[in-house]
Amino acid sequence: MSFSGMVKEELSKRTGASRHCQIAELAAMYLLCGKLKCTQGQELVLWVQTENQWVARKCFTILQKTFNIETDITVHESAHLKRCRVYHVTTRETEQALEILEAVKLVVKGSSDGTLKLGNTMILQRNCCKRAFIRGAFLTSGSISDPQKGYHFEIVCPDEEKAQQLQEIIRSFHIDAKIVLRKKSYVVYVKEGAQIVDILAVMEANVALMDLENIRILKEMRNSVNRKVNCETANINKTVNAAVKQVEDIRLIERKAGFESLSEGLGEIARLRLQYPEATLKELGMMLNPQVGKSGVNHRLRKLSMIAEELRGDEEELL
């Protein structure tokens, strides 16, 4: 099962203890994948269509607990190439449909296809209800990427108005949700890892939250180790390159002028560098008598480099 599926399975088993929270969660389900239809017998039916069994089960359970309403669940295969199962949770009577719509504060949008919209935000006054609403929205049309590969959380909305409403609710928890148009849908998304942890906490997906946090910690540790290794490798390369250049300069001085032309301090450090080409500046300084610090060793090696450059310049003039 994918990480997204695991999160949805966990959320499907979590239902708000209060009736107002259950109504808020149900409102999100109907808002994003529900419609009001008129049957041939002129009965109004309210239904939710979903490809996720957890959504169908959660919707059925809330309707039974909150309204004591028995609904019909039908399953059929979609006509798309994926041939996946599609679940319909449908009310049986007009009175039931109207009772639910009144409770969840949804109204028909005005179009002939029975699309619903949020009539007012009375059901979202409490933070616990906002949490339940986000949970219902994610269950219905959300997804989250595998944190091993990257961080991405999204909920797909059928129109801009619903996306903006959902964005406002998520932002009330100080989570920077953004909206992007994808084909004909509006996607409310969160990208940053820490913020996805926050939204999982908001939805009360505690098991998924801990799994994500563990993965984030491991990834950050790996990244930290890689940064340190890369930094140390770069420092080693820099030290080795500098030592190679110093040896070349000293050999040039030895060949062209001899160490006798150098002062005692420069001659001593020149011989040590040739003898210990891989030693650090600190190690070279400790070999001197009396001992010299890194800056002192570096100063002497720079002077040797300047002498070598002068000798190279003299060679070019002779040519």
**Residue 114 in contact with residue 182, Cβ under 8 Å?**
no
174 and 295 housed in the same domain: no
Tell me whether residue 154 is in a domain.
Answer: yes
Which residue, of 204, 238, 259, is where some domain finishes?
204
Domain of 246 in residue numbering reads as 228-310
184 and 297 housed in the same domain: no
For residues 94-112, give the mean pLDDT. Answer: 84
**Euclidean distance between CA atoms 3 and 137, whole angstroms:** 17
Return the number of other C-beta atoms located less than 10 Å from residue 22's C-beta: 23
How many domains in the chain? 2
Mean of per-residue pLDDT scores for the chain: 87
**Euclidean distance between CA atoms 3 and 177, whole angstroms:** 20
For residues 238-242, give the mean pLDDT. Answer: 83
Query: Which pLDDT value is given to residue 129?
Result: 93
78 pLDDT band, cuts 50/70/90, is low
The enclosing domain of 14 has a CATH number of 3.10.28.10
When mean pLDDT is compared across 4-13, 65-74, 171-180, the lowest value belongs to 65-74
171 and 237 housed in the same domain: no
58 and 168 housed in the same domain: yes
Tell me whether residue 272 is in a domain.
Answer: yes
- The pLDDT tens digits of the residues spanning 110-119 come to 656 788 888 8
Tell me whether residue 56 is in a domain.
Answer: yes
Whether 207 shows a pLDDT value over 90: the answer reads yes
43 and 187 housed in the same domain: yes
